[in-house]
Chains A and B, each alone.
Chain A
Amino acid sequence: MSNIQQFQYDNRITRAFGTASFVWGLVGMLVGIIIALQLIYPSLNLGPWLTFGRLRPLHTNAVIFAFVGNGLFMGIYYSLQRLLKARMWNDTLSWVHFWGWQVVILCAAYTLPMGLTTSSEYAELIWPIDILITLVWVVFGINMFGTILTRRENHLYVAIWFYIATWVTVAVLHIVRSFELPVTFTQSYPLFAGVQDALTQWWYGHNAVAFFLTTPYLGMMYYFLPKAANRPVYSYKLSIIHFWALIFIYIWAGPHHLLYSSMPDWVQSLGTVFSIMLIAPSWGGMLNGLLTLRGAWDRVRQDPVLKFMVVAVTAYGMATFEGPMLSIKSFNAISHFTDWTIAHVHVGALGWNGFLTFGVLYWLWPRMYRTDLYSVKLANTHFWIGTLGIVVYAIPLYFAGWTQALMWKEFTPEGTLAWGNFLDTVTQIIPMYAMRAVGGTMFFIGTILGVYNLYKTAQKGNFLANEEAQAPARERHLAAADSEHWHRWLERRPMQMLLWSTVLIAIGGIVQIIPMVFIESQVPKISTVKPYTPLELTGRDLYIKEGCVGCHSQQIRPFRSETERYGEYSKSGEYIYDRPFLWGSKRTGPDLMREGGKYPDSWHYNHMLDPTTMSPGSIMPAYPHMLEDALDLSDLPAKITALRKLGTPYPRDFEKYAITNAQEQAKKIAANLTSQGIKDQNMENKEIVAIIAYLQRLGTDIKVQPASEK
């Protein structure tokens, strides 16, 4: 070994991502507490910018992309260098990646409260930010593959397989979900409408969980857990089987978010069966983590790092068992649209992502600062308050979900809904919302303790910016050695690894989405379903802007309890002009699929001004600004043109009359309001008439008699 090379690991970039992770983590969790409190005290919905509808996506984006995002980059930048025996390929790219990602986060923190959103869950950011994300992701990819190709280590360790799959899948998901036609600098319409948009969304949304929150963290677990435990990984075979099975199967499971919806039955069934088949591959990761601790359990009692990791891996195991169970249709019929789902994702987010991030931070900081942790006792306190926080968060919400679902479904013997007033099913669970807020606050307090502990550790330590290392140059022996495992062959070829990962993750998406897009018969047309009028379209965009979809679904499932409450169940043909689709995934308020005609215009007017006047006890935010803000119709021609390009059959030159058309409809609604006793002036020029126009249109098309039958 004459050609030993000297080089240095870059610790600065790891520290930067780690710091960003806990700073954004605090912000994201704080927003979470605020929206949890808004559900108990609706008066906390301040002004148009800080209402629940706008803050909820801020919370999800902050914890997913800012807290966990920076966390996974921290883990990857630290472990990748050491596993490859190489410094990151290019320091400049590392820092472009870091600052680019922070700019994306800052843009999100500004645009989401402003109401600039696409409304697609976890893909809310508007198209210019989408492009920025793509660029940053490409920079990250170049830097990662540059490092892999200039490595000194022949074989890629299992953690890196996960990193590669993460990179390519997130790239594919993000690009496909961002197929959209810009209308203005801040608005766009998605390429797909209705059912196809829904399918694409949950293919994306589910796999954002899979490949942003799960695979990179599994990679981190494979590096940091054996390191912290100082034990060999339990089974190499298990790593291989569970890795390939996981990435292949995960991508198919998206439709389990759309069970009992207007999605064709076969797509739903694929979602169910692939979710069930996902149990074992997911548990493979948990097993390899927990069994690696064989012989180290005595240290789990003392070492806070291992404690955090054990709870993280266990939470991962629980969430990945619960997920498939919720994908069984009869369970889903109960859990879907309720707080059960919220509890489920928080076991994953707080337990798996949160605790693994903390474990890694507690392990990394003392090493990078060449000292001991400031206080083990404080770290243990953090652990216990955090664990209890998860329990106090999740259990009341499970209970709330059950309670609400059973109330929604209960009939009297005479055949009327036992809880005909939706609000009764909301006020019933508010005490559980309060407990959830307490649990979330406990977790947040724990995080503050953690940040303080890390800060003090940094203060007493001495940061090692460039860590000296040495290793022999890579000998390029690609031929198979005798008796080596077949998989070794692949581990020497990162590009083959990338190729096969791409092939495997592409199959599921292609099988589900392509037929939906190209086979007309999958979406039976309904002749009376017509495109939105310009004013309704404007109202719909306001509905999107305010984030109404965060609490109101537009998808009536084929259950008697839902058709009794809301009206005829939803048909896929009703959504063909819905860009984006607004089915929603949570009913904090009632479904609005057939809201049209249910209440008079004046009811909506009063309800928007103050929901409690029409529904005493309602927890919906008030929207007085809609009664005051001027109705902006100037983008209508661009919107109509864009939608026509995407396939909405607006007549030729309609964009020229769109504004006049909208003004006429606005006048009618304003006149209607006046006749119903609303005394305000100039209502036809306010946003309120647009939102009323849209709400009154909802779900009414199928009630129209087709022209031939008249």
Chain B
Amino acid sequence: MKSIKYLIALLLLLITAEGYSQTAPAAAPATSAQDLPSIMSWLLGIASGVLFIVAMIYIIKVNQFLYKRVIALEAQKSGMLLPSDAVPVVAQPVGDDFWTRMRKKYWEDPVPIEKEADIMLQHAHDGIYELDNRLPPWWINMFFITIVWAVGYMYYYHWGGNGLSQKEEYQEEVEMAKKQIAIALAGKANSVDESNVTIVSESSLVAEGELIYKNSCAACHGQLGEGGVGPNFTDDYWIHGGGIKDLFKTIKYGVPEKGMISWQAQLKPGDMQNVASYILSLRGTNPPNQKEAQGPLWTGDAAPDTSAVKTPGK
């Protein structure tokens, strides 16, 4: 039975390890969740250590048992009397073996139910009696360990160790992220910005832009770009300029005083490029319920070439 228990524990451990190894790569970019994997690996390490020790103890015990059994069988065969057989069982003082003694000392030591009258307190409260069992050793040991841990924690973070304050932790996290981003962005197309952005015309990219538009922009600018809280995208009038670079800039930094929020924390540069391209493709589509024109008439450079951009899904 016992071995089955261990087997199950091992299996569970493997499953968690498996899950862990699967989630690890996905979680890697999430640097702020870094604590989690490191804790998981610690827990895993400790758990496997404990499991190893338990397994060793178990193997030793099985060995002992088998050894005794073999000796007994040998003795039976040869008709020899073992010293233990010579002594009547009842007379033998029931000395606890090493493991039992350890268990009683450090783990649990309840007085058996048959003998509990010996440790029952004299007085009852409304018929409730109290036993005077020892404090469960594992419990009181756990209490001591947590106290030692608490002192260690305070030492490490406040009284002398080099634990980071939360401010220092934050600074470290930001530094790490900067490096990782620099690596990730090295030589990538996503480094488009308002100085070099161009209209994309691949229909797949424009379709991506449309998806972003429906999710994030349509609430204020209308499902068809007809305008609402925000201005109309289908006419020729633009408050902040109607070129791709102007539009990219408006999306990226927003115009907070007029209510356009900044999207650079939410959208990647490529996404902003796609959505800006999609928006420019709406020009002249003449949807119903258009908002009145706002801003000056746009005659600038990057007037979209509507012939080049097919509006998908229309």
Contact = CB atoms under 8 A, between A and B. Distances in A.
13 contacts: A79-B126, A155-B125, A232-B129, A235-B130, A245-B143, A269-B158, A276-B146, A413-B184, A414-B190, A416-B265, A416-B266, A560-B170, A603-B229
B116 A232 contact: yes
A600 B257 CA distance: 7
Given A153-B125, A232-B116, A569-B170, 4 more contacts: A232-B130, A235-B131, A330-B39, A560-B177
B188 interface: yes
A201 to B, nearest CB: 20
Question: By CB atoms of chain B within 10 A, which of A83, A420, A565 has the most?
Answer: A420
B106 interface: no
Contacts of B118: none
Interface of A: 79, 82-83, 85, 153, 155, 157-158, 223, 226-227, 232-239, 241, 245, 260, 265-266, 268-269, 272-274, 276-277, 279-281, 283-284, 287, 291, 294-295, 330-331, 333-334, 405-406, 409-418, 420-421, 558-561, 563-565, 569, 597-603, 606, 613-616, 676-677
Contact of B29 (A158, A287, A413): A413
Question: By CB atoms of chain A within 10 A, which of B110, B127, B130, B265 has the most?
Answer: B130
Contacts of B2: none
A227 B30 contact: no
Given A226-B128, A333-B35, A560-B32, A414 B166 contact: no
Contacts of B181: 413-415
The 9 closest A-B pairs by CB, nearest first: A420-B266, A600-B259, A280-B143, A330-B35, A273-B150, A415-B181, A558-B170, A413-B184, A232-B129
A272 B139 contact: no
Interface string B112-136: 0100100011010111111111111
Contact of A558 (B33, B127, B167): B167
Contacts of A600: 256-259
A277 B150 CA distance: 7
B31 interface: yes
B265 A564 contact: yes
B139 A406 contact: no
A604 to B, nearest CB: 10
Contacts of B165: 265
Contacts of A412: 29, 268
B60 interface: no
A421 B216 contact: yes
A280 B139 contact: yes
A98 to B, nearest CB: 23
B133 A280 contact: no
Contacts of A85: 126
A563 B177 CA distance: 13
B55 interface: no
B134 A237 contact: yes
Interface in B162-179: 165-167, 169-170, 173-174, 177
A411 B185 contact: no
B36 to A, nearest CB: 7
Interface string B252-292: 00001111010111111100000000000000000000000
The majority secondary structure among interface residues of chain B is helix
Contacts of A279: 142, 146
B30 A410 contact: yes
A283 B139 contact: yes
Question: By CB atoms of chain A within 10 A, which of B142, B188, B261, B266 has the most?
Answer: B266
B219 A613 contact: yes
Nearest to A79: B126
B229 A598 contact: no
Interface in B22-46: 27, 29-33, 35-36, 39
A258 B8 CA distance: 39
A235 B134 contact: yes
B174 A560 contact: yes
A68 B48 CA distance: 42
Nearest to A278: B146
A276 B143 CA distance: 9
B62 interface: no
Contacts of B127: 227
Given A233-B130, A265-B157, A558-B170, A411 B32 contact: yes
Contacts of A236: 121, 130-132
Contacts of A416: 264-268
Contacts of A274: 150
B16 interface: no
B59 interface: no
B84 interface: no
Question: By CB atoms of chain B within 10 A, which of A269, A283, A614 has the most?
Answer: A269
A601 B259 CA distance: 8
A233 B110 contact: no
B154 A269 contact: yes
B153 interface: yes
A241 B32 contact: no
A273 B170 contact: no
Contacts of B266: 416-417, 420-421
B6 interface: no
A603 B259 contact: yes
A83 B110 CA distance: 27
A411 B135 contact: no
B306 interface: no
Question: By CB atoms of chain A within 10 A, which of B36, B123, B154, B185 has the most?
Answer: B36
A238 B143 CA distance: 12
Contacts of A411: 29-32, 177
Contacts of A676: 229, 258-259
Contact of A241 (B30, B35, B135, B190): B135
B149 interface: yes
Contacts of B134: 235, 237
Contacts of A561: 30, 32
Contacts of A601: 259
A224 to B, nearest CB: 10
Contact of A559 (B131, B157, B170, B268): B170
Nearest to A160: B125
A703 to B, nearest CB: 11
B245 to A, nearest CB: 20
Question: By CB atoms of chain A within 10 A, which of B110, B136, B140, B215 has the most?
Answer: B136
A232 B146 contact: no
A616 B166 contact: no
A260 B164 CA distance: 12
A235 B131 CA distance: 5
B35 A281 contact: no
A260 B125 CA distance: 47
B54 interface: no
Contacts of B229: 602-603, 606, 614, 676-677
A597 B256 CA distance: 7
Given A237-B134, A413-B184, A294 B146 contact: no
B147 interface: yes
B33 A406 contact: yes
B180 interface: yes
Given A232-B116, A232-B131, A415-B180, A420 B265 contact: yes
B302 interface: no
Contacts of A614: 219-220, 229
Contacts of B257: 600
Contacts of A82: 126
A85 B173 CA distance: 63
A676 B228 CA distance: 11
B136 A287 contact: yes
Nearest to B258: A600
B158 A233 contact: no
